[in-house]
Amino acid sequence: MTAGEKAKAKTEQAEGKAKETLGSAIGNDRMAAEGQAQKSKGDAREAKEKAKDAFKH
């Protein structure tokens, strides 16, 4: 996994989790859903990079 892609994935996951938590805390379902989607996008990016790494070895 390249350092840049790993950082992007972790950033997306953290921002998504924060947005999801904040949305849930204030009762904003739309914000919570957007946060969950952003976190999932980060998870997918991380999984893609891990798969690429697995095939390199």
Q: Are 10 and 47 in contact (CB under 8 A)?
A: no
pLDDT above 80 for 34? yes
- Looking at residue 57, its pLDDT comes to 66
Residue 36 has pLDDT above 90, yes or no: yes
pLDDT band at 40 (very low <50, low <70, confident <90, very high): very high
Task: Kindly give, in sequence order, each residue whose CB lies less than 8 Å from that of residue 9, ignoring residues fewer than 6 positions away.
Answer: 42, 43, 45, 46, 49
What span, in angstroms and rounded, lies between the C-alpha atoms of 11 and 45? Answer: 11
Cα gap 5→33, rounded to integer Å? 24
Tens of pLDDT along 1-31?
578 888 999 999 999 999 999 999 999 999 9
